[in-house]
Structure 1
Amino acid sequence: MSEWTNAKMCDVANLVLGAILFFSPWLFAFPEGIASQNAYIAGIVIAALSLAALAAYAVWEEWLNLIVGLWVLASPWLLGFGEQAMTVHVVIGALVTILAAAEIWMMYQRHPPHQTAAR
């Protein structure tokens, strides 16, 4: 039960973070533009990947969530967001990245990749 709880709780948390990111332009009154568009698209992607992981877990979903989390974290500097949009993106990006990395780490702790011996 604890394995289910750890993995599923990370996915549920990422689902909630994706939803918050999607609605953040309205919640935090971002000006229309690239920051809002980034929040909509990245929020949908994070939520969709989290739903996919909840339905049928695969490690590739977590790797994609890690990449999207890193994008959300770095996008304010790469795209030039305002202060409020920057704060939301950095916090949510960091949390998504940490949760995805933790889930990948848990997966490899339970099932280490097969190593072949060179002879």
Structure 2
Amino acid sequence: MVRLKQRSDLSAINIVNALLAAFLFFSPWLIGFKDVEPAFWNAWVCGPLIGILAITAFNALYEWEEWANAALGIWTLVAPWVLGFSHVTGAMWTHLGVGLAIAVLAAVELWLMRHDHSANFT
């Protein structure tokens, strides 16, 4: 299993992931879609999962964590259409934005893990 010793640019990405996770978790109240059950529950499940992955990555970064984050980001991105709440503008745009950001950040971390030869692997 590939593990990367923590670097400041990867720490910054994980901080952003943790903030996005918190925003997703609280978005039903902040954006106003707490009465839309599929959107509410998706935010309440995906937000903490993304947050847990971001927090665990502060200790040691593993490739599987980034693949899991990418999958959660993609799921969050497509959830409005799969779960049928794309007609709720606030919920749809929140999930779309957070999901896209999480997926892109996971892809950046995966790229850095595979292409940064100056990093120390253990």
The question of a shared fold, defined as TM-score above 0.5 by the shorter chain, is answered with yes
Relative contact order higher in (CA < 8 Å, ≥ 6 apart): 2
What corresponds to 2:3 in structure 1? none
* Structure 1 counterpart of 2:111, one-letter code: W
* Structure 2 counterpart of 1:51, one-letter code: I
Give the % identical residues: 39
Offset of residue 55 of structure 1: 1.6
Q: For residues 103 and 15 of structure 2, what CA distance do their matches in structure 1 show?
A: 14
Q: For residues 99 and 22 of structure 1, what CA distance do their matches in structure 2 show?
A: 18
Q: For residues 79 and 42 of structure 1, what CA distance do their matches in structure 2 show?
A: 13
Q: Deviations over 1:84-107 (max 9, x none)?
A: 100000000000000000000000
What corresponds to 2:38 in structure 1? 34
Q: For residues 28 and 110 of structure 1, what CA distance do their matches in structure 2 show?
A: 38
Q: TM-score, normalised by structure 1?
A: 0.88
2:32 alignment partner, SS class: coil
Stretches of structure 2 lacking an aligned partner (at least 5 in a row): 1-5, 118-122
1:28 alignment partner, SS class: helix
RMSD: 1.1
For these two proteins, the number of residue pairs brought into alignment is 109
Of residues 87, 94, 98 in structure 2, which corresponds to 1:92?
98
Q: For residues 32 and 92 of structure 1, what CA distance do their matches in structure 2 show?
A: 18
Which is worse superposed, 49-58 or 97-106? 49-58
Structure 2 residue 81 is the aligned partner of structure 1 residue 73 = no
The structure with more radius of gyration: 1
Of residues 59, 62, 66 in structure 2, which corresponds to 1:62?
66
Offset of residue 110 of structure 1: 2.1
* Structure 1 counterpart of 2:12, one-letter code: M
Q: For residues 16 and 41 of structure 1, what CA distance do their matches in structure 2 show?
A: 15
Q: TM-score, normalised by structure 2?
A: 0.86
Q: For residues 6 and 102 of structure 1, what CA distance do their matches in structure 2 show?
A: 10
